[in-house]
Amino acid sequence: MGFEIVVIAILIFAIVTVWKGVRIVPQGEEWIVERLGKFNATLTPGLTIIIPYIDKVAYKVVTKDIILDVPEQEVITKDNAVIITNAIAFIKVTDPIKAVYGIVDFAEAIRNLVQTTLRSITGEMELDQALSSREKIKLRLKESIADEAVDWGLTIKSVEIQDIKPSESMVKSMELQAAAERERKAVVTKAEGAKQAMILEAEGRLESAKRDAVAQVTLAESSALAIQKVTAAVGDRDGPMLFLLGEKYIQALDKLGASGNSKIVVMPADLQDALRGILGRAGRAA
């Protein structure tokens, strides 16, 4: 009975020893082996044997591309605007030894490095520039963290800006500013319209006055010419002149009689004497 127990114990120990000594590393990983607490070897994918109880797999490092989500953060731009930005970093472990012994947690280190660098880059820009320079920020960000990543055995494959936008308070301020700008433009447009209307009205009045003046001058010239012709035709004879004046006088009385405000028209008893009297006074005045 005691012998059987010993045999069973030996078998169990042998199985455990083989289990501890044989390692199968999957594709896409590399394992760091320590011997008595000190780095000993790096296990690549495949079947590998280590010394049981002395060697220990201390770290299992993923050598495939790693996606790191950088948390959202608020950043103050150069013109004191608040924006919210976040990013995604694609990294690859190229030196597992540096990755595990060069820093405590390389993934967390890259996240913090991207955050602080992104905050520094956007903080040097004004709001409009930061919102429209996504590609420029991405390139600067990758260049800035590449050297640090190499020291940790990492390669920065790419850094993508997920989102960059104004904060809620900034959006409200921008909406108020836009509304004020629209109102200002509307007032300016209305004022310009009123100005143009006043200019056109003044130009219309000026043109009308010019035309009235031309008409009056033309009428005066026509009247003067008519008087000259009448004077030349009549000469010293008063008969034709009396006829013309009488005709004008009758026309005036006709208009006066047709007026709604005048119902009684008084005519002189001797129209010819009245006209001769007018001509006589006109001659004496001349």
Q: How far apart are alpha carbons 93 and 65 in whole angstroms? A: 8
**CA dihedral over 46, 150, 91, 102, signed as positive or negative:** positive
pLDDT at 134 exceeding the cut of 60? yes
For 130-157, the DSSP string reads HHH-HHHHHHHHHHHHHHHHHHTTEEEE
Tell me the average pLDDT across 53-80: 90
Going by C-alpha positions, the residue among 109, 114, 110, 106 that lies closest to residue 62 is 106
Q: In this structure, how many other beta carbons lie within 10 angstroms of the beta carbon of residue 251?
A: 10
The two beta strands, 55-62 and 66-76, are unpaired
pLDDT in tens, 16-31: 888 888 889 999 999 9
CATH number of 66-166: 3.30.479.30
pLDDT score, position 44: 92
Residue 36 DSSP class: T
Q: Is 259 helix (H, G, I), strand (E, B) or coil?
A: coil
In the structure, what pLDDT confidence band is assigned to residue 130 with cuts at 50, 70 and 90?
A: confident
In the structure, what pLDDT confidence band is assigned to residue 282 with cuts at 50, 70 and 90?
A: very low
Identify the weakest region by mean pLDDT among 64-68, 71-75, 208-212: 208-212
pLDDT score, position 30: 94
pLDDT score, position 218: 84
Say which residue, 9 or 32, is predicted with more confidence.
32
Ranges 105-109, 176-180, 220-224, most confident:
105-109
Radius of gyration of the chain (CA): 55
pTM of the shown model: 0.57
Q: How many residues does the chain have?
A: 286
Domain residue extents for the chain: 2-62, 66-166, 167-235, 238-286
Q: How far apart are alpha carbons 67 and 10 in whole angstroms? A: 47
In the structure, what pLDDT confidence band is assigned to residue 88 with cuts at 50, 70 and 90?
A: very high
Q: Which amino acid is at 249?
A: Y
In the structure, what pLDDT confidence band is assigned to residue 283 with cuts at 50, 70 and 90?
A: very low
pLDDT in tens, 172-185: 766 677 777 778 88
Average pLDDT, the chain: 81
pLDDT score, position 269: 47
pLDDT score, position 284: 47
Decide if 47 contacts 22 (C-beta within 8 A): yes
pLDDT at 237 exceeding the cut of 50? yes
pLDDT at 244 exceeding the cut of 50? yes
**Percent share of the chain, pLDDT over 70:** 76
Identify the weakest region by mean pLDDT among 83-97, 128-142, 208-222, 230-244: 230-244
Angstrom CA distances, 45 to 17, 71, 257, stand at 21, 33, 128
Going by C-alpha positions, the residue among 226, 220, 77, 68 that lies closest to residue 137 is 77
Say which residue, 6 or 284, is predicted with more confidence.
6
Identify the weakest region by mean pLDDT among 3-7, 51-55, 175-179: 175-179
